[in-house]
Amino acid sequence: MRLFPFYIIIPFIQSTIGYRILHSSISQFFPGVKLHRVILRNVGENMIEAIDFSPIDQKKVSTQLSLLFGKNVPAEIRVKQFPNYHFTNDSAFLATWSKATYTPIYLGETWLTMNLYTRNCQHFSKWYTEQKL
């Protein structure tokens, strides 16, 4: 099964979407809480790109507490590429995605810090899909 293009079937209507948003867990301690957003997009014939917005040093307790208490923490936009990847299902892809290396990218001052309540990965995915895709 190929990841892109996605076909949504609305009774007898078929359309192609150039991206998809996956929901992943926000913490290894709460794997069932899937609040993190990862944007998948096709960037070539056989290339899938995954983009997300995450705090730098996200595993540090101080970073997690700062987020919980509504403080801004340093963040980055991460891009991971998957050449010749054959998509089977969300869980399998997310397992591969979590182990892949990434390249940080800059998309403006707004996305240099994260705030759990006012500027998080869900805000980023909405902005990115409206502005960049």
What would the pLDDT profile of 5-64 be if each residue is shown by its tens digit?
433 333 333 234 478 999 998 877 777 888 999 999 988 778 889 999 999 998 899 999
The answer to whether residues 124 and 132 touch, using CB atoms and an 8 Å cutoff, is no
Going by their DSSP bridges, the two strands 103-105 and 19-24 should be labelled as: unpaired
The verdict on residue 1 lying in a domain is no
Whether residue 74 is predicted with pLDDT greater than 50 in this model: the reply is yes
**pLDDT of amino acid 42:** 86
Average pLDDT over residues 107-124: 96
Whether residue 86 is predicted with pLDDT greater than 90 in this model: the reply is no
Cα distance between the two ends of the chain: 23
**pLDDT of amino acid 11:** 30
Question: How many distinct structural domains can be found in the chain?
Answer: 1
**pLDDT of amino acid 103:** 96
- Report residue 98 as tokens: 């979590």
The verdict on residue 57 lying in a domain is yes
Sequence-ordered alpha helix ranges (H) in the chain: 61-68, 90-99, 121-131
Owning domain of residue 62 = 6-131
The verdict on residue 124 lying in a domain is yes
The verdict on residue 51 lying in a domain is yes
pTM: 0.81
* DSSP label of 60: S
Whether residue 91 is predicted with pLDDT greater than 50 in this model: the reply is yes
- Report residue 20 as tokens: 């998809």
Nearest to 21 by CA among 42, 39, 36: 39
